[in-house]
Amino acid sequence: MTAPTSRVRVRYTTLEIGKMDIHVRTLRDHLQFEDINGEAKRLGISSATWPLFGVVWPSSQVLARLMLDYYVNEKRVLEVGCGIALASLILNQRSADITATDYHPETEGFLAHNVKLNDGKKIPFVRTGWADLNDDLGKFDLIIGSDILYEVEHADLLSAFINRHARGHCDVVIVDPRRGHHAKFSKKMAELGYACAQEKVTQTDDMGKNVICQVLTFSRQSIPNLA
């Protein structure tokens, strides 16, 4: 039997992030969909949400620029809900200890391909959901993410996930395009002992429209480091 042929269309782009050129293969647009074996359906990923992992969003560009000179020496870094993982690709070029995660079944393949496009070392990847209590990721000094608070329940799930994987002294950077849930998320993080700072940053999307992003920075320093 002949294997199914992919009908998903992709594009190759070079993004100028500061002084770095990052080469990425992405989905051609937000209309692509392919779930030949039904894996995405089994994971609860609909045809409408399926392509969201595979495009570069304004928030991810903001996060990537923040990671250009963020202090990461000797830090273990985790990108959650990475999608195309632009920030991880930047950190990989800086030889940081970066691990990427996402729930989408196609993310790992796109990540591996884009690492090769940029002549980088392999980025460890774990496909996991935020409710998964057995992902074996371990703990991290810095946890980052962009545009991942797009459902109301994500504030609870993400804050708990971050807390499970945060070392005693941990910084968290989340970039949100003001979808309406970051206030609840910030409250949850405060309840877990994280101090919060916020900043607004404007980023142009692929249609030339300005998008205002909220940069949420959290820091916790009072819990003994057990990892």
Specify if 211 maps to a domain: yes
Full domain range(s) for residue 151: 56-220
Q: What is the mean pLDDT of residues 123-144?
A: 95
Q: What is the mean pLDDT of residues 31-59?
A: 88
| Cα distance between residue 108 and residue 16, in whole Å | 23
Specify if 227 maps to a domain: no
Specify if 25 maps to a domain: no
Which pTM was predicted? Answer: 0.92
| Cα distance between residue 15 and residue 135, in whole Å | 32
| Cα distance between residue 221 and residue 85, in whole Å | 27
Q: Is the pLDDT of residue 155 over 50?
A: yes
> Which CATH number is 199's domain given?
3.40.50.150
Specify if 126 maps to a domain: yes
Nearest C-alpha neighbor of 122 from the set 97, 141, 140:
97
Chain-centroid distance of CA 190 in Å reads 21
Give me the pLDDT at residue 196, please: 95
Q: Are 217 and 196 in contact (CB under 8 A)?
A: yes
Specify if 39 maps to a domain: no
Q: What is the mean pLDDT of residues 53-78?
A: 96
Nearest C-alpha neighbor of 170 from the set 130, 217, 212:
217
Q: What type of residue is 119?
A: D
Number of structural domains in the chain = 1
Specify if 51 maps to a domain: no
- Residue entry with tokens 């937000």: 30
Give me the pLDDT at residue 3, please: 44
| Cα distance between residue 27 and residue 3, in whole Å | 21
**CA angle centred on 105, ends 82 and 5, rounded to 5°:** 125
Strands in 96-161 per DSSP E: 97-102, 125-127, 140-146
Specify if 13 maps to a domain: no
Average pLDDT score, the chain? 91
Specify if 182 maps to a domain: yes
